[in-house]
């Protein structure tokens, strides 16, 4: 099954369950492969050695010096802007491949094969590319939708549990944004993700991206749990995974929505049910010191903080506040209690 979306005057096609994506790699294309994925990949013979760029996929390598290495490498090839850069791996690899492809020769073709759940339901979809810069995660980037994204649950079989949970939490987040059967499917899934659920998540995300490709309005709903989540990530010096921080962020958004009387306790319970049922919540091993100033990402304390709150079940809205001490309080409250 495939579906074409229109993002920023480009077509971005999502193809599900095409196990033979590698047959579409052309002689002149280059393939940025996450080294760990490459080592496990059974189809190495389908590529010529000189077209594969092995990328040690970690945040510390999503940088300009690494980009320079890649650009120096690709410049030695006979690669034209009509050829394709492929990115095969998790979100770090798809962000890196996307950014490289958006700048090389002022933009060349881009195809992505996300291999982690997080990349399948979020990073590879919607055209955001990024590098880390000046100690800021995703400090530089571009909007550059991939021409094709190949999604398949077959990659998930070998994914470590912590990686899998990161994606599952983002999937649950998406199921809370608007009326969708994805929420019910997650509840009956027993923590297993199938291709139907991957498709439902992608359709929801791409719908928001199509309506707001440059993240100026309703695409921001996808940031549910992320304002609190980013604060927690920074406060624990990235020792707790992104997904787990977003989970605490969703709980904090629910508690704040409850306190401000946008939702009832019954609705709060229903929203939190998948996180509880799939036993994703946790209590941190160490105490985390949360500074209220972390809510001001650009360090300007006179600015308002944007939050995504609930005003119903599967109904969210953008809320602005500068009362960061209240945000700190709710985050601390949900941090040490397990659902
Ligand atoms: N990761 C959120 C977005 O793509 O907008």
pLDDT confidence of residue 303: 79
Instruction: Name the residue of 219, 224, 308, 316 to mutate for ligand 1: max ligand atoms within 8 A of Cβ.
Output: 219
Given pLDDT bands bounded at 50, 70 and 90, which one contains residue 231?
Answer: very high
Residue nearest to atom 1 of ligand 1 (CA): 122
The stretch 284-308 carries a mean pLDDT of 84
Q: Strand 315-321 to strand 305-312: parallel, antiparallel, or no bridges (unpaired)?
A: antiparallel
The sign one gets for the Cα dihedral 78, 79, 82, 88 is positive
At residue 299, the pLDDT reads 53
328 lines ligand 1 (CB under 6 A): no
Block residue for tokens 């005057």: 9
Is the pLDDT at 296 greater than 90, yes or no?
no
User: What ligand 1 atom has the least distance to the C-alpha of 222?
Assistant: 2
**Helices H / strands E in the chain, number of each:** 11, 11
Q: Average pLDDT, stretch 6-14? A: 95
Query: Atom of ligand 1 at shortest distance to CA of 223?
Result: 2
Q: Give the C-alpha separation, 244 to 239, whole Å.
A: 10
The pair of three-digit structure tokens given for residue 253, joined into one six-digit string: 């958004």
Distance in Å, CA 128 to ligand 1 centroid = 7
pLDDT of residue 135: 84
* Atom 2 of ligand 1: nearest residue by CA position: 222
Report CA-CA distances (Å) from 76 to 27, 67, 160.
15, 14, 36
| Helix, strand, coil percentages, rounded to 5, for the chain | 45, 20, 35
The tens digit of pLDDT for each residue in 185-209 reads 999 999 999 999 999 999 999 999 9
Mutate to test the pocket of ligand 1, among 121, 141, 205, 246 (most ligand atoms within 8 A of CB): 205
Task: Indicate if the pLDDT at residue 301 is higher than 70.
Answer: no
Q: What is d(CA 87, CA 113) in angstroms, rounded to the nearest whole number?
A: 6
Question: Which position has the token pair 């040490």?
Answer: 336
Angle, in degrees to the nearest 10, between helices 91-103 and 64-75: 60
Provide the percentage of residues in the chain whose pLDDT is more than 90.
Answer: 93
CB 144 within 8 A of CB 110: yes
Mean pLDDT of all residues belonging to the chain: 95
Q: Which atom of ligand 1 is nearest to the CA of 125?
A: 4
The predicted pLDDT at position 158 comes to: 86
Quick one: which of 222, 269, 275, 267 has its CA closest to 248? 275
- Indicate whether residue 122 lines ligand 1 (CB < 6 A): yes
Q: Which residue reads 């036993």 in tokens? A: 279
> Can you give 11-31 as a three-state secondary structure string?
EEEEEECCCCHHHHCCCCCEE
């Amino acid at each position: 099954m495939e579906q074409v979306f229109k993002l920023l005057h480009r077509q971005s096609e999502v193809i599900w369950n095409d196990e033979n994506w590698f047959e579409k790699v052309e002689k002149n294309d280059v393939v940025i492969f996450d080294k760990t994925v490459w080592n496990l990949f059974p189809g190495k013979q389908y590529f010529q050695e000189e077209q594969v760029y092995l990328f040690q996929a970690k945040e510390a390598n999503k940088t300009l010096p690494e980009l320079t290495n890649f650009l120096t490498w690709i410049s030695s090839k006979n690669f034209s802007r009509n050829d394709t850069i492929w990115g095969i791996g998790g979100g770090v690899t798809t962000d890196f491949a996307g950014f490289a492809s958006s700048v090389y020769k002022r933009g060349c073709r881009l195809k992505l094969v996300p291999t982690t759940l997080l990349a399948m339901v979020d990073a590879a979809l919607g055209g955001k590319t990024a590098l880390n810069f000046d100690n800021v995660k995703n400090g530089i980037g571009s909007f550059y939708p991939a021409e094709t994204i190949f999604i398949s649950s077959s990659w998930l079989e070998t994914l470590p549990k912590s990686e899998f949970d990161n994606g599952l939490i983002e999937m649950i987040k998406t199921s809370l944004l608007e009326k969708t059967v994805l929420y019910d499917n997650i509840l009956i899934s027993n923590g297993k993700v199938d291709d139907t659920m991957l498709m439902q998540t992608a359709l929801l995300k791409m719908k928001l991206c199509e309506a707001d490709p440059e993240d100026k309005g309703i695409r921001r709903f996808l940031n549910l749990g992320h304002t609190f989540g980013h604060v927690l990530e920074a406060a624990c010096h990235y020792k707790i995974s992104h997904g787990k921080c977003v989970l605490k962020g969703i709980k904090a958004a629910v508690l704040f929505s409850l306190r401000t009387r946008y939702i009832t306790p019954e609705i709060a319970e229903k929203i939190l049910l998948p996180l509880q049922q799939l036993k994703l919540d946790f209590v941190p091993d160490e105490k985390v010191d949360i500074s209220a100033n972390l809510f001001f990402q650009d360090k300007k304390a006179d600015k308002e903080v944007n939050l995504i709150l609930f005003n119903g079940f599967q109904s969210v809205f953008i809320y602005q506040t500068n009362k960061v001490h209240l945000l700190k309080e709710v985050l601390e409250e949900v941090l040490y209690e397990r659902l």
